[in-house]
Amino acid sequence: MTAKQILYIFLFLFATVSLATAQQAKISGTVTNFDNKPVDFVRVSIKGSISGDFTNGQGKYQITVPMGDSITLEFSSLGYQKAERKIEKVSGNMVVNIMLREKVLEEVTVTGSQAQTNTMGKIELGNSNLLTDPSIEARISMESGVSKTNELSNQYSVRGGNYDENLVYVNGIEIYRPLLIRSAQQEGLSFLNPSMTKDVKFSTGGFDASYGDKMSSVLDITYKQPTEFEAMVSGSLLGANAYIGSSTGRFSQITGFRYKTTKNLLGTTDTEAEYDPEFIDAQTYMTFKIAPKWEVSFLGNLSSNVFKFTPQSRETKYGSMSDSKNFKVYFDGWEHDKFLTYFGALSLKGKLTENLELGFSGSAFSTREYERYDISGEYQLTDAGLESGGVEDQNGSLLAIGSYLEHARNKLNADVSTLSHSGSFKFNNHDIKWGFTFQKEKIEDKIKEWTVRDSAGYSIPNVPNLVSVYTNQRGDNSINSNRYSGYVQDTYRFTAGESLFYLNAGVRFSHWTFNKETIISPRASLAYVPSSSFVLRFATGLYYQAPFYKEYQRIVTTDGNSVIELNKDIKSQKSLQFVLGGDYKFTAADRPFKFTSEVYYKHLTDLVPYTVDNVKIRYSGENSGKGYAMGLDMKLFGEFIKGTDSWISLSLMKTQQEVDGIKAPLPTDQGYNLSFFFRDYFPGIERLTMNLSASLSQGLPQTPPNSGFISSDVFRTPAYKRVDIGFAWQVLGESFDIRNRSAFCGSFKNIWLGADIFNLFDIKNTNSYYWINDVFNQQYAVPNYLTGRQINFKIVAEF
């Protein structure tokens, strides 16, 4: 081939490419919502074509289209209504901006509908006051991988982890709870106020480096910033709740007050007593714009949880038809517990540039806790089996008789203060975040507990020439320590063909002056998004459970006396986690559905073995254990009934711990956990709604007392089974004809009347066991039952 021919071919190819290029145009623009905020992960494509692009973090996109043609652009994203823009003739490069309208969601709690590209899922609360249990923890407990088997408690277990392994944040500030609580009856109000809450994010594991050093979960709450006046007041047989929000342009505030009493619920238990629980709290969240891009905020909370208890008698019948037992106790004495907590956080955040955000905050948490009781009881246990003919033997044979005296004078003062800085910088497809925190802890703890047991005139344990108590603990400890922690991470967004990827990688570090330990926690996740209806996620990382007071309390027993001391050699527990999961969105019967599943494995080392007594966790104070947790979580969410949202979740799990060659399941192990939420309305009477929640989970492992922190002699409580149902009638609504309203009714947006039935089938769920001994030191486990059926009435008014 001659040089001339080569030149002709080159000119021909150049002309062809130039012509083809000249016949192409670029269309770019920005996609925002109706709040004028950019929307990322919006699929922009030509209708009828598989090619397209996704918007970036600033909502920007760019696609190439043929010149001269008439095309229709499609804009679609999870959580938003699909939009189209028709262009009659493409004559050159164009800019097409568009606003997407969010899909209207029902008032029930729903899983976030936007694409979840990490393990933090978004949950919309809606009007939670209409649900049987309005607390955020109750909603979280219905997520797959989460277990909550005590209706009096706000504590929950995630994937085999204990209650202390869950992180809780409000507006970026870590929240603490009282430490001395040993029974859910004392627990009172959760810090989280659902009426003041705007956003809820939750992760059951594999969370990124911006969150602290815990091994199980993260609950991230953001409170509201009202743009206009709003208020709500509600009341029921269980208490009252009210909040008021307002805005004056640069300043906004929302303030809530809550009162809770569980007196009626406790009255359904086996123990006849005078209950006097009073739980009160007040919260406020204020914001003030000091400049167009800078804002100062304050979050404050005062909480008083007081529990008074004067028991009288108890009768518990348990066992099978052929082996029935009857446990009777006559009490004398009292219990008086008080938990006072104070919290305040001041924050400054803003933008130096469009892509650079900075934040600074300081917070202080203080708790004053008092636990005092002197309760004696005289009991008898009889065998109330069936006589011939199937009639219960009213007299029965006596199995055990005795008495006991329980005494406690416990006091704890804890103060935790923090100073922190956080920031983020966005450039190209990178979103870099960092943070540093200094935390000071000051704790003073005085513990004095003992129990005396007597069986048929013999003190237990029966030691010749010596009167011994059954159990005793004494402690007088204080700590003044500092923690330094920080993190840095990057979220990188990129495309490969028609697929979108999110890669998050980061590292977290922490140092504690008490044990001189420095920990480094690398974490990473990858999300693969081949289409708007499917997301696949993988996350891994090394997670630490940094000890916080209870974990490093060690009991040293000498000559029958137990003294609590602090173990300065304690180390953080470790969890190497692998999480693989995804979401699939589909339509069935013209209704939207979403199926989510995750499979996980957690390799656990340096474990601090513990036991669970009701809701109190007692640690061994030694890093003597290792183990694992693995399982599968699944959830189906959607419109089972058109126009309403319901879901069902199923979790399967297996855990194991090993200490000194002894293997046993973790104390919070549950092989299965099934949760169901269903909402419906009456046809033709949409103002009358119903919500039904149900739970079924395997019973928790139990061991006999004084068998150590791990034992191969494990049995389980019966399965936890509970169904709650609630009805709500909208008496007044915004859509009602205002001409029929009186001046008084015109002040309200909505008024609801409700009725709830707790524990619909009056199932006796076992929470724990009370162990008694006969004179031969034979042990009997008497179940402590949870609450029975109870009806609650309420009214909710919104202004």
Tokens 């805005």, residue located: 247
Answer whether residue 529 is part of any domain.
yes
Residue 393 has pLDDT above 90, yes or no: no
Tokens 């004696």, residue located: 376
Task: Lowest mean pLDDT of 129-143, 249-263, 532-546, name the range.
Answer: 129-143
Residue 207: per-residue pLDDT = 95
Task: Lowest mean pLDDT of 209-218, 219-228, 376-385, name the range.
Answer: 376-385
d(CA 191, CA 283): 9
Answer whether residue 509 is part of any domain.
yes
Tokens 């002309």, residue located: 15
d(CA 773, CA 453): 9
Cβ atoms < 10 Å from Cβ of 8: 11
d(CA 622, CA 605): 12
Is the domain of 61 the same as that of 200? no
Is the domain of 363 the same as that of 509? yes
Is the domain of 61 the same as that of 127? no
Is the domain of 78 the same as that of 209? no
Residues of the domain holding 83 = 21-100
Is the domain of 682 the same as that of 655? yes
Is the domain of 384 the same as that of 415? yes
Residue 661 has pLDDT above 70, yes or no: yes
Is the domain of 83 the same as that of 215? no
Q: What is the largest CA-CA distance in the chain?
A: 120
Is the domain of 115 the same as that of 96? no
Domain count, the chain: 2
CATH code for position 72: 2.60.40.4130
Answer whether residue 47 is part of any domain.
yes
Answer whether residue 645 is part of any domain.
yes
Answer whether residue 14 is part of any domain.
no
CATH code for position 406: 2.40.170.20
Answer whether residue 105 is part of any domain.
no
Answer whether residue 340 is part of any domain.
yes
Is the domain of 565 the same as that of 634? yes
290 Cβ contact partners less than 8 Å away, ≥ 6 residues apart? 296
d(CA 315, CA 379): 10
Which pLDDT tens digit goes with each residue over 116-167?
788 888 887 767 788 888 899 998 999 999 999 999 999 999 999 999 999 9
Residue 297 has pLDDT above 90, yes or no: yes
Mean pLDDT for all residues in the chain: 87
Is the domain of 248 the same as that of 132? yes
Of 62, 80, 100, the residue at which a domain comes to its end is: 100
Residue 170: per-residue pLDDT = 95
pTM of the model: 0.85
Residue 160: per-residue pLDDT = 94
Is the domain of 64 the same as that of 175? no
Structure tokens at 591: 């209704």
Tokens 């540039």, residue located: 353
Which pLDDT tens digit goes with each residue over 507-520?
999 999 999 999 99
Answer whether residue 724 is part of any domain.
yes
Residue 17: per-residue pLDDT = 40
